[in-house]
Chain A
Amino acid sequence: MAPPAALLRRILREPLAHFVALGALIFAAYLVTHPTAASDERTIVVDREKILTFLQYRSKAFDQQRFSGVLDTMSPKAVRDLVADYVQEEAMYREAKSLKLDEGDYLARRRLVQQLEFVTQGFVADARPPNDAEVAGYYAAHKSDYAAEPSITFTHVFFDRARHGAETLALARAELARLNAAKVPFTQAPAHGDRPLYDVNYVQRDASAIAADFGAPMAKALLSLTPSADRWQGPFETEYGAELVMVTDIAKGGAPPLDQIRERVRADAAEADKRARVGEAVANIVKSYRVRTEAIQNRPPAPKP
């Protein structure tokens, strides 16, 4: 079901896959230097290790211990079927190789490239974690990555235009005066007005969430208010009627101070450093080749100015 790219991504993320890839490379090298090891090319040897590996690849999950358990509790028929599948795959694989079918296959080529990428990553992985100065430098350069949207906390009293028609706004204005005179607190908002379409209280929600329920103009207007737990504000007109609000908190958004998120930034900086060094290693491999470029595009001549 999984498209090959997604599958590959998942498999290649597995540390075991890196290990297996590395093992495969070493084994390939061994085969090249020890031709007798592969001399009996018409014999397929099946053992527990091979079947365990096969089972894990087939399940697209890698957990040696878990699959040892799975294998040992499989019925004899299931094991026979599994072995038969393995033998068929191995035989077909060897035939395909002998026909050199792998050489013209783009997927096989991509797969090899990715294996080398992972081997490369393995070599650059173990660098020391970035120190505080490096973390601070990374934070300064990527501050916008950590920026939060402004968020707001408020409760509201709703006047439904479907019920009150042209009176809606006037009704809201009159109620505003009453709410403030009676010092109606935040938690008593539900006792007033009509049943809101969505939530009663909005707690630390950001502008896009507010805009989804009240429309962008009201969301924008709310963020410009001064929070006060003693004052009802409004009215605001929306698609559905009028709103009075008590805003108790507005967080400006932007990036939090480094101290609050230092470890998250450190991990990101380490990751960025690793990516950069992998890029360098790949660039070095590419650099070791001479490249001769010939005509690539067939284009009509450019129009004269």
Chain B
Amino acid sequence: MTTRTRRVAKFGIAARALAVSGALVWSLAAAGAAQAAQGARSTQLYWGETHLHTTFSTDGYVASPNAIQPEQAYRYARGLPVIHPTVKNRVRIKRPLDFLIVTDHSDYAGLQVMLNRNEPGLLATDTGKRLSELFKTNPGVVAGLTRGVGQITEPQMKAAYRPVAAVTWLETVEAAERNNMPGKFTAFAGWEYSPTPDGRNLHRNVFSSAPAEALRKIVPYSTLDSLRPEDLWAWLQKQSDALKIDFIAIPHNSNMSDGLMFQAVDSDGRPITADYARTRSRWEPAVEVTQLKGTSEAHPELSPNDPFAGFELYNGRFSPAIKPRATKADYARYALMLGLKIEQDVGVNPYKFGLVAGSDIHVGLSSTDEDAFVGATVAASLPEERNRNRTGNNFAVWGLSASGTTAVWAPENTRTGIFGAFKRKEVYGTSGTRIQLRVFGGFAFPAGAAGAPDIARVGYGGGVPMGGDLTNAPAGKAPQLLIRAVKDPIGANLDRVQVVKGWLDAKGETHEKIYNVAWSGGRKLDAAGSLAAVGDTVDLATAKYTNTIGAPQLAVVWKDPDFNPAQRTFYYVRVLEIPTPRQQVFDALALGLSVDEIRKIGVPPSIQERAYSSPIWYTPARRR
């Protein structure tokens, strides 16, 4: 690939010229490949929510007839109007989703809802009756009891809940069934497994591609069973064997794990073995990289050469005793790097995962648009509440992010279609914006590929999509990434496309490097490979920005200039938008705060929203 393809393709004369030359080259290349069966390789882009709580979660319970249960959550995601549980006005999603996984906490799921309707199975025990009494006088006390705080012991709580553990799960499964419309909208019933040993977050969202008849036979695994992720995986294996169904578990908020999520050791402190690595990568092909409680990609203290690593960091922890600190076990990038090292040592990479995102909203209404953020919880849904707290560790604050959407490249919008994309990691996460991002890895993309009219044909025909593996590099060839990023159709222009490379050297040490590979208008890389900031058009007096800077589209074929075929390597792509106003600015303006006051809130008033692709790995051929 020459200098031409490394330059920016922008809508305009240059892009058209590129597109024309690309089309010519491609039609020639395609003629050769067309001999083969050359099937329907194209994939569609589907947008979804992988992390959403409803009133069935004990910490999302709303004592209101308008509380959002899974049924209403799916309907809202499909684009139907629903009633907001506290504000009680009619709300409708700005842009419907293509799929939704409802993920209520499996520990005591639906407990208050069942107490509220006097569920017979719950009232059959003495503890259940006591719970019911407590609930009637003070509904708030129940959430504390599920966390082991209060007058009913943990064993008593468990014993009372066990008989009704499946009740709201079955309702979730039925709601998913009613709202699942193959080809139009995919509804998954899922749950969140939420172990928090010593306040350190090890949470996972779990979902399955299985039909309702199989899902009715299980009761979601929870922390009532065990706090060890290994035990979750063993349970998944057991269900999978017994019912012939498949699951995916998505770890999230590693940023709040205080060094636990991505370690070199297992839950007992023993070094990771091939078995552990195989099991973990089997069940956990994707990790949530951003959501309302912050970003888990990387940390500026650990990546001092990445000026964009300090994006939407969250300093809250589940225990006030935990002081926020930056450890490599808390962020996805370093886990990907550690995975290369463990693979070298034991033969299997436990941290071979794609990157996705979810909102973690506890109101049942998926919402990641800065100008329409509903808040983390019902208590936090009102701007005046957020203004009262502003920053800090609770949920009613402006420090939380209107973040987390997953994009999926799949042949069709069905449960098997979406699930398959997660399995092969052909998925990516964004901070809520809908940047369209294609990434393919290969060794010989044709000249002009970045300008090809159908980039998917070139990419699928000559390489592997994001989430894939490269090996057997032809002599003298380095991996290329074919990348095309297009702005959110109703969103902001793009600032730049970056490749994040991680690798393992001969001494067994890991490294990272960030390359700016495509960018908008008129800027040049300096000697160190850095690029001037794109600018900022955000007007805090109106909460508006203009697309007078940035580019609607950036496309490039990038070739690794520092490739060493003997080193285990991964590449993922990060796409940055131009700055746009952050959610608190809309609240603040509505509340009548002045521009000066908005600047003093303690949260950046403008942010560069972004997309994170899943990685492509290069593995050297084994020495024999």
Contact = CB atoms under 8 A, between A and B. Distances in A.
A binds B: yes
A163 B198 contact: no
Contacts of A55: 321
Contacts, number: 157
B348 A206 contact: yes
B269 interface: yes
Contact of A151 (B198, B227, B319, B347): B347
Interface string A146-158: 0011010100010
Contacts of B38: 192-194
Interface in A3-46: 3, 6-7, 9-10, 13
B196 interface: yes
Contact of B411 (A3, A191, A195, A199): A195
Contacts of B35: 178
B604 interface: no
Nearest to A147: B274
B190 to A, nearest CB: 20
Nearest to B279: A208
B111 to A, nearest CB: 14
B371 interface: no
Contacts of A194: 37-41
A199 B198 contact: no
B460 A195 contact: yes
B92 interface: no
A185 B442 CA distance: 13
B278 interface: yes
B392 interface: no
Nearest to B343: A204
A6 B148 CA distance: 15
B442 A187 contact: yes
Given A1-B196, A187-B472, A200-B464, A249 B278 contact: no
A10 B472 contact: no
Contacts of B80: none
Contact of B322 (A61, A200, A203): A61
A70 B320 CA distance: 9
B272 to A, nearest CB: 11
A170 B541 CA distance: 68
Interface stretch (B130-138, B167-175, B289-297, B614-622): B614-622
A164 interface: yes
B463 A190 contact: yes
Given A194-B37, A209-B282, A153 B274 contact: no
A230 B234 CA distance: 41
B510 interface: no
Interface in B433-485: 442-444, 460-465, 467-472, 474
Given A59-B319, A159-B37, A160-B39, A2 B227 contact: yes
Interface string B253-286: 0000000000000001101001000100010000
Interface in B313-367: 319-323, 345-348
Nearest to B194: A1
A197 interface: yes
Contacts of B460: 190, 195
B285 to A, nearest CB: 10
Interface string A170-209: 0100010010000001111011111101111111101011
A1 B147 contact: yes
B443 A193 contact: no
B583 to A, nearest CB: 29
Contact of A204 (B33, B268, B347): B347
Contacts of A157: 36
A164 B37 contact: yes
B116 to A, nearest CB: 23
A7 B43 CA distance: 47
A11 B38 CA distance: 59
A50 interface: no
A191 B467 CA distance: 18
Contact of A163 (B39, B43, B442, B617): B39
B96 interface: no
A3 to B, nearest CB: 7
A195 B424 CA distance: 12
B228 interface: yes
Nearest to A248: B472
B321 A58 contact: yes
B249 to A, nearest CB: 15
Contacts of B348: 206
Contacts of A264: 271, 345
B328 to A, nearest CB: 18
B140 interface: no
Interface string A267-286: 10000000000000000000
Nearest to A198: B424
B424 A61 contact: no
A186 B472 contact: yes
Nearest to B467: A199
A70 B461 contact: no
Given A6-B197, A10-B198, A204-B347, A191 B36 contact: yes
A1 B43 CA distance: 43
Nearest to B411: A195
A197 B420 CA distance: 7
Contacts of A267: 271
A61 to B, nearest CB: 6
Contact of A199 (B147, B199, B424, B444): B424
A212 B282 contact: yes
Contact of B323 (A3, A10, A70): A70
B274 A148 contact: yes
B223 interface: yes
A204 B444 contact: no
Contact of B37 (A148, A192, A208, A251): A192
B563 to A, nearest CB: 14
A149 B282 CA distance: 15
A193 B227 contact: no
A60 B198 contact: yes
B423 interface: yes
A237 B154 CA distance: 53
B40 A153 contact: no
Nearest to B619: A203
B271 A201 contact: no
Contacts of B227: 1-3, 6
Contacts of A200: 463-465, 468-469
A56 B320 CA distance: 11
B621 A153 contact: yes
A191 B461 contact: yes
A60 B474 CA distance: 53
Nearest to B423: A198
A60 B268 CA distance: 16
A251 B282 contact: no
Given A151-B347, A153-B471, A248 B278 contact: no
B322 A59 contact: yes
A190 B464 contact: yes
A305 interface: no
Nearest to A250: B622
Contacts of B223: 1
Contacts of A13: 269
Contact of A187 (B271, B444, B619, B624): B444
Given A6-B228, A187-B443, A199-B424, A171 B472 contact: no
Contacts of B423: 198
B480 to A, nearest CB: 11
A304 interface: no
Given A195-B411, A199-B467, A204-B347, 14 more contacts: A3-B154, A59-B198, A61-B322, A153-B621, A175-B36, A190-B462, A192-B33, A192-B37, A197-B420, A199-B424, A199-B469, A212-B282, A248-B472, A267-B271
Closest 10 CB pairs of A and B: A59-B321, A194-B39, A60-B198, A192-B36, A195-B41, A191-B33, A203-B469, A203-B471, A200-B464, A203-B619
15 contacts: A2-B198, A2-B227, A3-B227, A60-B198, A61-B321, A148-B274, A148-B346, A148-B347, A175-B37, A187-B472, A192-B36, A193-B37, A195-B40, A198-B424, A206-B347
